[in-house]
Amino acid sequence: MTIASHPFSPERLEFDRNLIEKLDGAGPRYTSYPTADRFAPTFTGADYRHWLGQHRIGASRKAISLYAHLPFCNTICYYCGCNKVITKDKSRADIYLDYLEKELALIAEALGVRETLAQLHFGGGTPTFLSDAQLSRLMAMLRRHFNFLPEGEYSIEIDPRKVSRSTVFHLAALGFNRMSVGIQDFEPAVQQAVNRVQSEAETLEVIQAARDAGFKSVSVDLIYGLPRQSCGSVRRTLEKVIAAGPDRVALYNYAHLPTLFKPQRRIIESELPSAAEKLDILQQSVAQLIDAGYLFIGMDHFAKPDDDLAVALRQGRLQRNFQGYSTHADCDLIGIGVSAIGKVGACYSQNEKELDAYYAALDAGRLPVLRGMTLSQDDILRRSVIQALMCRFALSVEAIEQVFGIDFGDYFSVELEALSEFEQLGLLSFDGDFLMVMPKGRFLIRNIAMVFDRHLREKRTEARYSKTI
């Protein structure tokens, strides 16, 4: 399966079934480098406060990105691996907002000046667990501390089962202009197996409401590899999704890790598709999306040709952060809420993962940092290399050498030797000046990026990574 275009075009993709099976394995998704499993508790709130203070004195200070983690859900989806709190008590969200307000005040104090937001994302959990009034309160809190760019990207994750048309219009009035709609699968048997029963009608109603309310972009999330799925069932779901015409489609691989995520223990393993069936589903789904006019952005993301992500890919401006592919990921990212991760300057930080610990830190007047790390120069160099490969499928040796003052061949001699096998397999080409990921290497981009991950090569981790395909 091939898209006909110039072989080095970032939009070209070739699904080589034999190579994918040969290189099957697990590895990081590289929403960050180093990956979050490398963060350490020796990095404290005081360290994070230092880096927040450094932001305002940066020579090329940019607008920032902000992620708010809203962990509450009414019901549990068995496949979910997110940090969440299952409850029907809306008053718990009021308490949580009290603490978000404390955290925002501490962050604003550390920043020292009123910063500008270019990007905002509400994730969870289910952000729309919050009532319209609670969402209004949170946005008002953010606007007290930050200026919002008129042309900024302000997005929210939506569970169509919990959102009315009036709430969608309320979100638009609050300033949201992008929406991510969770679908996963439209088949009733699959929905019942994962405890997420969601009608096609209510999903389409939310998508139409977003268009009527003036949202710039609607994306949908799907998962393949769920119990009771087959090629036929996923094809039917995709037909319905394509007919709805979202601007972006994320097609995630379900990672069954029941020892890590307790809700997954309720999934009947004998109902999961086999590894070969999963690959059949993926191959068919990719062909369906491409035939429908969607472009492959990277890993598991597809977008219409005129979508901002597709334009950024063509122009070499695509970035990647903890929310996935983005056009604003070069901004410093501030994470607020339980378990939220931030990237400010040369550091990563992650908040406490449990509500009680998160609340206790803020009651003590401390930033609720659980762990993090300050990046070395080597980390920053390798982050640049991995970012280029993941987002542009290409790497300029000269650009890296000029920015970091290294001899690329000497510095990465071990990596280049490891890449030679991939080159022989036709996954990439390297002429000494440019490393180019070939069309058949693009679905295996995580495997290629892993070659440059020094932490993965030299330091053991307790993390269990998802399959690269």
DSSP string of 239-308, one letter each residue: HHHHHH--SEEEEEEP---TTT-GGGGGS-GGGSPPHHHHHHHHHHHHHHHHHTTPEEEETTEEE-TTSH
**Where does the pLDDT of residue 11 fall: very low under 50, low under 70, confident under 90, or very high at 90 and above?**
low
| Residues 231-268: tens digit of each pLDDT | 999 999 999 999 999 999 999 999 898 988 899 999 99
With 90 as the cut, is the pLDDT of residue 27 above it? no
pLDDT at 398: 95
pLDDT at 2: 45
Instruction: Please list the residues that pair with 180 across neighbouring strands.
Output: 157, 219
| Residues 332-357: tens digit of each pLDDT | 999 999 999 999 999 999 999 999 99
Structure tokens at 313: 């890919």
C-alpha of 399 from chain center: 26
Beta strands 319-321 and 324-326, pairing class? antiparallel
pLDDT at 313: 86
- Comparing 320 with 249, the larger pLDDT belongs to 249
Specify the range with the lowest mean pLDDT, choosing from 115-124, 317-326, 437-446. 317-326
pLDDT at 465: 66
pLDDT at 8: 53
pLDDT at 468: 60
C-alpha of 176 from chain center: 18
Domains annotated on the chain, with CATH = 19-24+376-458 (1.10.10.920), 36-335 (3.80.30.20)
pLDDT at 469: 65
Closest CA to 331 of 340, 322, 339: 322
pLDDT at 325: 83
pLDDT at 45: 96
| Residues 346-399: tens digit of each pLDDT | 999 999 999 999 999 999 999 999 999 999 999 999 999 999 998 889 999 999
Beta strands 301-303 and 295-298, pairing class? antiparallel
| Residues 45-91: tens digit of each pLDDT | 999 999 999 987 764 468 899 999 999 999 999 999 888 999 999 99
Mean pLDDT of the chain: 91
Give the integer Cα–Cα distance in Å for 69 and 48: 18
Give the integer Cα–Cα distance in Å for 64 and 34: 21
Confirm whether pTM is higher than 0.95: no
pLDDT at 244: 96
